[in-house]
Homo-oligomer: A and B are copies of this chain.
């Protein structure tokens, strides 16, 4: 497993560096994970409080399905590990990414009263797994933010059940979660959704 972990960790660090450059992971915000092994679950998870522009592969932590550290070396996994684990289990995701961009923060608040952001008619939607036409309607649910992680994980689970077709969700005034079968797919989904949220935000109507 060691070699696979190193490769996965290097991939997460590269994605972190790129997203940080775009301003989506400023101030040690956001977190990233990828599945290393399914049974029992082993997740490579970004540590808490680390500058994502300088995240090194060896800083990634190996955690189990209870968000407990399995790897020998120290560090504290992200507080939001429980959300990653829930997404991995409920969606069968291979990677989960969470960004804090200005536009996703602004729209998570602007559309909160509607329960989510409805995105439709854009070609970029085809970048989401399984979407074959721009005539697709993507509903990105907005969940009220909370510091009670077990409760928030439950709420995330309920939201995923209620919206089985959603490729991501927003935490209000907090950020965006998306995922994919692979890290490349999760990265693509984040880029697609960040693009669409900025596009919605810049529309004058």
A89: interface (CB < 8 Å):
no
Q: Are A28 and B188 in contact (CB under 8 A)?
A: yes
Q: Are A133 and B105 in contact (CB under 8 A)?
A: no
Q: Are B109 and A173 in contact (CB under 8 A)?
A: no
Q: How large is the interface on A (under 10, 10 to 19, 20 to 34, 35 or more residues)?
A: 35 or more
Say how many copies of this protein the assembly contains.
4
Q: Are B188 and A27 in contact (CB under 8 A)?
A: yes
A127 to B123, CA, bound (A): 28
- The interface residues of chain B lying within 8 Å CB-to-CB of A187 are 51
Q: Are B26 and A195 in contact (CB under 8 A)?
A: yes
A145: interface (CB < 8 Å):
yes
**Identity of the chain B residue whose Cβ is nearest the Cβ of A104 in the assembled complex:** B199
A201: interface (CB < 8 Å):
yes
Binary B-proximity of A175-205 (CB < 8 A = 1, otherwise 0): 1000000001001110110110011011111
Question: Which residues of A are at the interface with B, using a C-beta cutoff of 8 A?
Answer: 18, 22-23, 26-29, 51, 53, 100, 102-103, 105-106, 109-110, 121-124, 127, 132-134, 145, 147, 171, 173-175, 184, 187-189, 191-192, 194-195, 198-199, 201-205
